[in-house]
Amino acid sequence: MTFSNNFKDFRAEVKVSSPGRINLIGEHTDYNNGFVMPTAIDKKIFFDFKKNESGENCKIYSKTFDSYYEFSLNEISKQEDSWKNYLLGVIDEIQKLNKKLLGFDCIIESELPIGAGISSSAALECGFAAGLNKLFKLNLSKQEIVELSQRAENNFVGSNCGIMDQFASVMSKKDHIILLDCKTLETEFIPADFKNCKLLLLNTNVSHSLADSEYNTRRAECEDAVEKIRQNYPEVSSLREVNIEMLEEFKDELSEKTYQRCLYVLNENERVQEASEAMKKGQLKRFGELMYQSHRGLQHHYEVSCRELDFMVDFSEDKDFIYGSRMMGGGFGGCTINLIEADKIEDYIKEISEAYFRKFKIKMDMISVSPGEGTQIS
């Protein structure tokens, strides 16, 4: 079957735009119940939905992958194509809530680069869930959409992500950054006043095979440390309840690697809180210094960076028009996020592109982004 045969005379009943996200600082802290500073961006995935008369048959066409997929709501099973599993996981979680779905058709088109660390997966999950919620009047709240989308990725896809990506994709406000407490979900929206600067993503265009497995390994390492500390401190349920003194007390009982992982998380939580104050006070230079510190922690203590990311951060560090730079996302590839004076962007892209290609024989991409609105439905 071809796309044209299956979507002839398609007329959308529900349209959704679901954004990717950036995280200015606070990496790998969300699944440790820590602090993060994300926001949605002005780059999105677009969905068109309509009901069909089949009862249980669903048809999805991805313009991005030029891929057609048909399945029954009564036969949800994991697929080899990873993009399908994010959608099937959402359906699985909705049906677990005893919400009634019927057959539907959906067309998806994305302007988010895959593997860049801007959470195309969360945008896919949240936009799909929001569209089905509207189409079938499921009466799910924004919070429920966030949580079921996270569960879809944890339970069906098999990635033990925290809640940050889905929360930012749904809840963000245009021209604001979220200070999110991942333990309580307490939220503060901070005006994104970057003055004469802009946010620039530089995509390494590498995605090392370590990324998925090492992400889950880091989470397990942190949870193992929590289990040991809990023996003496039963109130501890995550690294959020651990302070430096407690960590030092258990230093000899933890492997050096695990100790370094925990030390990074504790320091990063402090950096996020300081960064939020710096942003509110307009102290962009200090904000940038904290970004650099974050990267070095990810590089040396959490060990989720890679040569390509480190090169980009190193290259930026002696430029006085770049206030801060760090890797963003799970690691082992993807983007650096840079706080850079707007009028220097064009020349800098030319300079670093040439240097990066000389070093790695890889062409990098740039993505200029601004803080955008969360999931929109029409």
Which domain CATH number covers 310?
Answer: 3.30.70.890
Q: Cα(52)–Cα(39) distance, rounded to whole angstroms?
A: 35
Whether 158 and 258 map to the same domain: the answer is: no
3-state secondary structure the chain: CCHHHHCCCCCCCEEEEEEEEEECCCCCCHHHCCEECEEEEEEEEEEEEEECCCCCEEEEEECCCCEEEEEECCCCCCCCCHHHHHHHHHHHHHHHCCCCCCCEEEEEEECCCCCCCCCHHHHHHHHHHHHHHHHCCCCCCHHHHHHHHHHHHHHHHCCCCCCHHHHHHHHCCCCEEEEEECCCCCEEEEECCCCCEEEEEEEEEEECCHHHHHHHHHHHHHHHHHHHHHCCCCCCCCHHHCCHHHHHHCHHHCCHHHHHHHHHHHHHHHHHHHHHHHHHCCCHHHHHHHHHHHHHHHHHCCCCCCHHHHHHHHHHCCCCCEEEEEEECCCCEEEEEEEEEHHHHHHHHHHHHHHHHHHHCCCCEEEEECECCCCEEC
pLDDT of amino acid 136: 98
181 and 205: one domain? Answer: no
Count up the domains in the chain and report the number: 2
What is residue 213's predicted lDDT score, i.e. its pLDDT?
77
pLDDT, the chain, mean: 94
Q: What is the pLDDT of residues 75-85, one digit of tens each?
A: 999 998 788 99
Statement to judge: residues 69 and 154 lie in one domain? yes
Residue 9 designated active-site: no
CATH of the domain at 70: 3.30.230.10
Nearest Cα residue to 293 out of 26, 5, 13: 26
Pair 150, 166 in one domain: yes
- pLDDT tens string 313-367: 999 999 999 999 999 988 899 999 999 999 999 999 999 999 999 999 999 999 9
For residues 351 and 230, state if they share a domain. Answer: yes
Domain boundary (191, 226, 250) is at 191
Instruction: Please tell me the distance from the alpha carbon of residue 343 to that of residue 198, in angstroms, as a whole number.
Output: 9
What was the pLDDT predicted at 210? Answer: 64
- Decide which of 174, 191, 208 is a domain's last residue: 191
Domain termination site, one of 171, 191, 211: 191
Q: Are 320 and 197 in contact (CB under 8 A)?
A: no
293 belongs to a structural domain: yes
Is residue 150 included in any domain, yes or no? yes
Structural domain for 252, as ranges: 197-368
Among the listed residues 30, 48, 92, 165, the single catalytic one is: 165
pLDDT of residue 1: 43
Instruction: Classify residue 374: in a domain, yes or no.
Output: no
CA nearest to 362, candidates 204, 211, 241: 204
Residues of the chain with pLDDT under 50: 1
Structural domain includes residue 248: yes
Report yes or no on 373 lying in a domain. Answer: no
Q: Is residue 218 part of a domain?
A: yes
